[in-house]
Amino acid sequence: MGATGHLGTAWRKRDYHRQWLWREANRLFDFFQNRAFNPVGGFHELDADGRPLNPGNPVRGIHSTARMVHCFAIGSLLGRPGSDDIVDHGMKYLWEKHRDQERGGYHWSLDNSGLLDASKQGYGHAFVLLASSSAKLAGHPDADRMIADVTEILERRFWEEKHGAIAEEFDADWTPVPGYHGQNSNMHLTEALMAAFEATGEKSYLDKAESIADLVIRRRAGENGFRVPEHFDENWVLDKEYRGNEMFRPSGTTPGHWLEWARLILQLYALGGKKHGWMPEAAKALFAQSIALGWDKEKGGFFYTLDWNDEPAKRNKLWWPMAEGVGAAAFLAEHLPSEFHETWYRKIWDSIARHFLDQDRGGWHEELTEDLLPSYTLFAGKGDIYHALQACLIPLYPATGSLTKGIIEAGGR
């Protein structure tokens, strides 16, 4: 019967479920691999049918470029044909186009004409570190120089030792953009720092990840009932009135990030030798709060944002909190096995399978209305493989580190 009692064997251990996850991961690879490849450079974001958005002059955001590198490095480690070409294509675009060859750092976005947004953001640099770390594990020859380059920039420009976290943003000439710190960029840097630690063995990466987690989760989330605050002033004082970009800096709180942190905290706990006893309990609390406050108990799915009275603010349902819910539940079910975690692992997948998988056209619907119908108010189509692919693959490997580490240790199986 195992740890889940009357539920029987955990889904993650059942052959049928594992085969189902492999099939869904392959559907995502199939959907994005050739459609997203832009022969002019970088990658296309796709519409709902899988066609390039604005094919004549598409925007290439740094996070999108880096995520494709990361995901197809995973494909390479699994032995998927064509993955190495994608990784090489993305690494070349990051190095030759996003990177500021005169002043250092990496610009936010470009199109065929050149720079669109020349700012240098912590969020984007986090994904460059993730991409280059994953590329190193996949054997890319340029990975080491990119890891060294972005690490130097993060250390010299972004890292703020007095806070134990990074600054948010600079202009192209490295003029600081003051007055704001965000947890989202620091959360993704935590993910990237763990990947860099696994790729290089350098403990300084892990030390920084633990520092960020201590600030954002142990202290700031702990002070707010393990609801992760998103926005802070220059001294990391919570700013409940902040209004920003709805995609990257939505107001209020975002339950999907509570779920994302729940998995990352347990990954950090395992990589750090399980010495920080607060981490498992924090992960458990983050997941429980996301279910209690963020899940639509009538219709299913996680509300995108809540206000500070714990009421739904943006009531639409996005794909990425569902994907992160799967990853969090999988990690919790392994580290803190319980019927609650197993039940929600299954329930989240049930909702994904019914509402988010586009069986006709491929990929996942990235945005649904409150009533779980496809919608395009924030996302124009299907621009991202990253969250959904990891949801399919993370449960297939031990919850002891990153997905890339698990694949390598399993011999690519």
Which sequence positions are flagged as catalytic?
A: 257, 387
In whole angstroms, what is the distance from residue 388 CA to residue 71 CA?
10
Q: Do the Cβ atoms of 304 and 318 come closer than 8 Å? A: yes
Look at strands 165-166 and 159-160 and give their pairing: antiparallel
In whole angstroms, what is the distance from residue 192 CA to residue 136 CA?
13
**Angular region, 176: left φ>0, alpha ψ -120 to 50, beta rest:** beta
At residue 81, the 3 state secondary structure works out as: coil
Q: Do the Cβ atoms of 106 and 124 come closer than 8 Å? A: yes
Q: Is residue 73 within a helix (H) or strand (E), and if so which, with residue range? A: helix 62-78
Q: How far apart are the first and last CA of the chain?
A: 26
Q: Mention every residue, 6+ apart, whose C-beta is less than 8 A from residue 260.
A: 187, 324, 327, 328
Tell me the β-bridge partners of 382: 46
Encoded tokens for 219: 């202290």
Angle at 91 between CA 408 and CA 37, to 5 degrees: 95
**Angular region, 179: left φ>0, alpha ψ -120 to 50, beta rest:** left
- Choose among 300, 290, 323, 289: nearest CA to 369: 300
In whole angstroms, what is the distance from residue 174 CA to residue 177 CA?
9
Q: Do the Cβ atoms of 263 and 328 come closer than 8 Å? A: yes
Q: Mention every residue, 6+ apart, whose C-beta is less than 8 A from residue 39.
A: none
At residue 106, the 3 state secondary structure works out as: strand
